[in-house]
Amino acid sequence: MSQLYPEIEKWAVPQAALAKTVAAVLPTGLAGRETGVFWLGERSTIATVSALVMPSGQGVEEHPEQWKVSPAVYGAISLWAKPKHLALLAIAHIHLPGVPVALSWADRNLSVQVPGILAIVIGNGGADRDHSQWSWNVYNRNEYRKMTPPQLGDRIDITPNGRLSTWRADASGVYEVEI
């Protein structure tokens, strides 16, 4: 793998990232709309998630079967993240009740496609709090592959005391928030 996208063997995910992801997405899920969050952090052999960014507001569309984040929001996040040496490590989004907890065709083909990035699907509109019930997928060799339970155990390290900051992003910028 290139210097651009260093190979990731494991992801260190603070326990707080799991809980705060649910806290961030559940209200929108209960309202019957899709949404999601970005996990950012240092990208290296062990990629450490250290920031949760919730796109919301100007430049973000949340609909029952669609969640869109505009280029302006991506740009705002990029502008904020790069000086902090943060890279996008994962995109976690919800599927509403009745929708399979798995990547859709669109999720597989129309989303961020770079080696090692995680795409996570949380079912039941974000009400599935058990992360082992989420769909964890990693992009590699030109496609997303679902991680099996043994792979999850080997490659996802949930750290009880890992540090995490939480942010809200829209087209105008990124702001620290309490989630």
Partner 1 sequence: MTEQLTEEMQTPDTHRTHEVRVTVEYLPATKPFHHEYQPAATIGTVQAEAMSFFGVKDHKERDDYKFFLEFHGQRLTNLSETLHQLLGEKREAEFHLVEQITPGGMSK
Q: Is 175 in the site for partner 1 (CB under 8 A)?
A: no
- Indicate the helix (H) or strand (E) that contains 149: helix 149-155
Site for partner 1 in 78-137 (CB under 8 A): 78-79, 81-82, 87-89, 91, 93, 95, 99-100, 103-107, 109-114, 117, 119, 121
Which stretches within 2-128 are classed as H helix? Answer: 15-30, 71-81, 105-109
Rounded to the nearest whole angstrom, what is the least distance from the CB of residue 52 to partner 1 in the complex? 15
Q: Give the other-Cβ count within 10 Å of 26's Cβ.
A: 19
What is the C-alpha radius of gyration for the chain, rounded to an integer number of angstroms?
Answer: 15
Instruction: Closer to partner 1 by CB, 15 or 101: give it.
Output: 101
- Residues whose CB is less than 8 angstroms from the CB of residue 18 and which lie 6 or more positions away in sequence, other chains included: 129, 131, 158
| Beta bridge partners of residue 136, listed in sequence order | 120
- Residue 26 interacts with partner 1 (CB under 8 A)? no
Contact residues for partner 1, defined by CB under 8 A? 2-6, 34, 36, 43, 65-72, 74-79, 81-82, 87-89, 91, 93, 95, 99-100, 103-107, 109-114, 117, 119, 121, 171
